Amino acid sequence: MRKLPNIIVTGTPGTGKSTHGERLAELMPKMTYVSINEYIKDHSLQDGFDEELQSTIADEDKLIDLITPDLEIGGRILDWHVCDIFPESLIDLVVVLRTSTTLLFDRLKGRNYPQKKFDDNMDSEIMEIILSDARESYDPQIVIELYSNDKDDLESNCQRIESWTKQWIIDNDEDTQ
């Protein structure tokens, strides 16, 4: 039995996944923040490069094989724009960050993405693709949608997730059951 939960922080690029993940790790030092993009680079889990999108293609099978032992231990905060590949049995909370399309437009423009990548990400947010994937892949009770438009949202969201984590620990403590 894991002593700490595993949390996915997901959303369209530009919604604040990394900022939330890093802040959560500060608030909960027993949890480990994992940027899946960095994890893929650090462990050479690339399966090519998409020239049109200017993006690395991840070998998702190798990623899951390598990260599963860490998830079995628990205490991971996963940051990635894809959530539906992680084993449902090892995920306790899926946080889907959303941002107003006006703010997201500005954030993505500032990243100088190729036009197709920019358009795909804007479409993904407008059509709620990541939220839909999360709801289809995990028990709807563990999927929450949070807005990430400003620093107040960041702090409020992180406090909410921290409170949820504390309750999860209490609820899953074998010594109290």
Number of H-type helices and E-type strands within the chain: 7, 7
**Residues in the chain where the model's pLDDT stays below 50:** 177
Is there a domain that residue 26 lies in?
Answer: yes
Task: Write out the two tokens for 42.
Answer: 């650090």
Domain that holds residue 162: 7-166
Tell whether 23 is in a known binding site: no
Q: Any known ligand binding at 111?
A: yes
Task: Return d(Cα 111, Cα 52) in angstroms, integer.
Answer: 16
User: Does 148 appear as a known binding residue?
Assistant: no
Q: Does residue 2 form part of some domain? A: no
In a domain, 131, yes or no: yes
Whether 174 is covered by a domain: the verdict is: no
CATH number at residue 32: 3.40.50.300
The reported pTM is: 0.93
**Would the annotation count 48 as a binding residue?**
no
* Tens-place pLDDT, residues 39-80: 999 999 989 988 888 888 899 999 999 999 999 999 999 999
102 in any annotated domain = yes
Assess contact for 128 and 79: CB atoms under 8 A. Answer: no
Number of domains in the chain: 1
H-only helix segments in 28-59: 36-42
Q: Is 16 annotated as a binding residue?
A: yes
Residue 6 carries which side chain, given as an amino acid letter?
A: N
- Domain assignment present for residue 1? The answer is no
